[in-house]
Structure 1
Amino acid sequence: MTTSDSLRDTRIPTHASGSVPAVGFGTLIPDPVVTRQATKAALEAGFRHLDCAERYRNEEAVGDAMQEVFATEKLRRRDLFVTTKLWNTNHRPERVKPAFDASRRRLKLDDIDCYIIHTPFAFQPGDEQDPRDERGRVIYDSGVTLAETWEAMERLVDEGHCRSIGLSDITLEKLREIVAVARIRPAMVQVESHPYLPEWELLDFCREHGIVLQAFAALGHAMKPNVLADPVITAIAERLHKTPAQIALAWAVQRGSAFLTTSTNPRRIRENFDISALPEDAMREIKEQIKTNIRFNSVVETGVPGFIPRAE
């Protein structure tokens, strides 16, 4: 991991090629107009890593925001690291490339820096993103394995336009299975992680294999118990004249992971980007004194992201 004078400029190398900006902006924002505004604000604030997904239904808005900023010539495509994700209904190998190409068109990009399997669960293939039976239960697809989907992802890298591939919402056990059979290893895995769910064992495995661990819900997604109200975090924030969010995000980067943070408030977006290195005693306090351990999102058990509202 290379760190410049500013923690926010940290880049984490991968086994694939190049490196990943540790500080990332997530685009899980329901309203396309607000998505466009927030994405522009994030790029103007200094974010150079954008995380998107077919499932968010707003890739076009993110693409519009990028093109607007590119038109100002203050930013070029090569300055950005852009990820997007394959949704669960497209796990069948023959559906992977069409889904990838559709995301590229919506994002108005020739190349994607990292294409990620959104969850390791395959849903019934089709246009309905949230297939349910008459009892409201998810309809899974038993006709495809994660390894078969991964092979189709590898072919995207072979064919060009996809620089690297990754996984999201995955357990260490499942990640081990893919690494064991992969011809092209994951460059990045996205998992829920924050001071209440540090995932140290998974982080160690990722480091060993040249995989970037990227934390989503890095601030606990404002759920209870509230990470940002933790007395250890708030005491450090007061001592260092930073916000609790800046402390939690700095901790994420300083320990060797990347993170995603999402906001629609320009001031908050700038604040979340403005992180700086923590003293070693603060890092030690967070690791040793915080005892709460909780997962807020059960997606690793079901494939249904808990932070995405179901379509009616």
Structure 2
Amino acid sequence: MTYEAFHDGLRDTGFVLNHGAVEMPAVGFGTLFRDLATTTQAVKEALAAGFRHFDCAERYRNEAQVGVALKEVLETGKIRREELFITTKLWNTNHRPERVEPAFDASCQRLQVDYIDCYLIHTPFAFQPGDDQDPRDEQGNVIYDNDVTLIETWRVLERLVDEGRARSIGVSDITLEALKALVAVARIKPAVVQVESHPYLPEWELLEFCKEHGIIVLAFAPLGHGMQPNVLEDPVITGIARRLQKTPAQVALAWSVQRGVAFLTTSATPSHIRENIDISTLPFRAMVEIKQDITTRIRFNSVVETGVPGFIARKK
């Protein structure tokens, strides 16, 4: 993909998915907020700033608040539903085949939409089915569900695609090994794989496999989630930002899109929302510097190992 220097459309990049001829905007807005009360206003601010790709989840417990914002904006007629790309996710407690469709329908109702652009399995780990999203035993250990396999859950997602209710499907928080196993047996291959990725966790091997199979990698925490060591304080990133008169965040996000990885950023602050979409193409030299000169390797979220989302607390 080449970009014209005089007309920089990096922020408008779309990646075509491997089924359904759907195009996913590379620039996405995540809806996991610490304060759920900020959800509706933040989504409206993101729509006003130009975001059209929204990442939701049953687990975030605020799909209804996202739905209110979407409905209000769609009713103005300024944005059409077809212009939006809405992702949501099946939570770990709903992996059993008979639970998938009711969970999908409930997400659609809360979001006030009649189809989902991309439906993801939130993690490959099945938890004990039920209404408790975080089932634990007396010792505080997660209660996993060993009576269902990932492919059994996946088969129901494939049916949702057949019925046109989910335009594409994928998986989140999965390792390369588990992804390879799923791709080998899936009738409809995952279109999207959402994982933690940033300059300190570039996931080059996973990205290469995904590109071979026409799977789009979607990065969460593309700025390192503000944790230590801080990606945005890395001397390579800050040096490029100074040269280009961009912010370190804009540099890291542009790097993501230019290497073919869609990203999600989350903020309830209007200035940050606008900053995160205002990206432009980095020179080739900057791309090489980020790849070769940044040697820090760190994962900030352990969800890929346990199925339990959570950024790892580290002593500063």
Whether TM exceeds 0.5 here: the answer is: yes
Alignment of 1:125-274 (within 5 A): 125-274=129-278
Shift of 1:19: 1.5
Match of 2:25?
21
**2:86 corresponds to 1:86:** no
Match of 2:307?
303
**2:296 corresponds to 1:292:** yes
Using the size of structure 2 for normalisation, the TM-score is 0.95
Match of 1:7?
10
Contact kept? 1:193, 1:199, Cα under 8 Å: yes
Shift of 1:32: 3.2
Which of the residues 15, 33, 44 maps onto 2:48? 44
Aligned partners of 1:75, 1:66: CA distance in 2, in Å?
Answer: 9
Match of 1:102?
106
Shift of 1:157: 1.1
| Counterpart secondary structure, 1:82 | strand
Deviates more, 1:140-149 or 1:299-308: 299-308
Distance 1:184 1:271, change over 3 A: same
Shift of 1:168: 0.1
Contact kept? 1:30, 1:56, Cα under 8 Å: no
RMSD: 1.2
Aligned partners of 1:248, 1:231: CA distance in 2, in Å?
Answer: 12
Aligned partners of 1:164, 1:216: CA distance in 2, in Å?
Answer: 19
Contact kept? 1:24, 1:51, Cα under 8 Å: yes
Contact kept? 2:302, 2:311, Cα under 8 Å: no
Name the amino acid aligned to 1:80.
L
Contact kept? 1:2, 1:10, Cα under 8 Å: no
Which of the residues 286, 297, 301 maps onto 1:282? 286
**2:38 corresponds to 1:34:** yes
1:47-105 Cα distance to aligned partner (Å, 9 max, x none): 01000000000000000001111122111100000000000000000000000000000
Please list every run of at least 4 consecutive aligned residues from structure 1 whose deviation after the TM superposition is greater than 4 angstroms: 1-4
Aligned partners of 2:297, 2:72: CA distance in 1, in Å?
Answer: 42
Aligned partners of 2:225, 2:37: CA distance in 1, in Å?
Answer: 22
| Counterpart secondary structure, 1:275 | coil
1:276-305 Cα distance to aligned partner (Å, 9 max, x none): 000000000000000000000111110001
Aligned partners of 2:39, 2:271: CA distance in 1, in Å?
Answer: 15
Runs of 5+ unmatched residues, structure 2 = none
Aligned partners of 2:85, 2:119: CA distance in 1, in Å?
Answer: 11
Name the amino acid aligned to 1:10.
T
Shift of 1:106: 0.2
Match of 1:55?
59
Shift of 1:2: 7.9
Name the amino acid aligned to 1:6.
G
Contact kept? 2:51, 2:277, Cα under 8 Å: yes
Aligned partners of 1:173, 1:114: CA distance in 2, in Å?
Answer: 22
Aligned partners of 1:293, 1:31: CA distance in 2, in Å?
Answer: 30
Name the amino acid aligned to 1:282.
A
Aligned partners of 1:261, 1:129: CA distance in 2, in Å?
Answer: 24
Name the amino acid aligned to 2:144.
Y
Shift of 1:307: 4.5
Using the size of structure 1 for normalisation, the TM-score is 0.97
Aligned partners of 2:268, 2:9: CA distance in 1, in Å?
Answer: 24
Contact kept? 2:173, 2:303, Cα under 8 Å: yes
Shift of 1:33: 2.7
